[in-house]
Amino acid sequence: MKAFLIAIGNLFKRPATIQYPFAPTYKPDDYRGLIQHNPELCIWCRRCEMACPPGAIVFSQAMDGTQTYHYNRAVCIYCGECVRNCPKPGAIIQTATPASPALKDENINNSWAETVKQALESRAAYMAEKKKQAAAKQQGGENPA
Ligand code: SF4
Ligand code: SF4
């Protein structure tokens, strides 16, 4: 009898579920969402990259020394460590924007691994060139023409 009354009562209650994605889910005020980089304020120290536990940030470097920020929202765990470790306020912020589902070409195993590999190679190439130039400069100083 008790179960029957509960069942009847439930007929007049609002559903416990929501019609996501048509109805948005509850989001607390301190929700930790997508990371946003501001190149205008960035001093390119790469501390955010070093602090990131899963490796969701990587910087590539061109031969003229300029760096480019890369971020993978599918790898990010939204911990905020990059923001906490950034010495320049506003250079990297955590927004309240939830991440949308990752697209196929953004997953960890394919394009992101390749992006990281290329970024590290670009930095190694830049450093090698810098060393070569420094050695040539030093040699020129020792043997002035
Ligand atoms: S929030 Fe955490 S996981 Fe995401 S980029 Fe920043 S440090 Fe990496
Ligand atoms: S830690 Fe901040 S200033 Fe340094 S590279 Fe990252 S965003 Fe730029």
Side chain identity, residue 37: H
| 88-127 confidence digits (pLDDT tens) | 999 999 999 988 877 766 666 678 999 999 999 999 999 9
Answer yes or no: are the C-beta atoms of 92 and 48 closer than 8 Å. Answer: yes
pTM of structure: 0.82
Nearest CA to ligand 2 atom 2: 86
d(CA 56, CA 69): 11
Ligand nearest to the CA of 73: 1
DSSP symbols for 3-63: HHHHHHHHTTSPPSS--TTTSPPP--TT----EEE-TTT-----HHHHH-TT--EEEEE-T
| 134-143 confidence digits (pLDDT tens) | 999 998 877 6
Ligand nearest to the CA of 69: 2
Give the residue, 76 or 10, on which the prediction is more confident: 76
What residue ranges define each of the domains in the chain, with the CATH number in brackets?
24-98 (3.30.70.3270)
Q: Would you say the CB of residue 80 lies under 6 angstroms from ligand 1?
A: yes
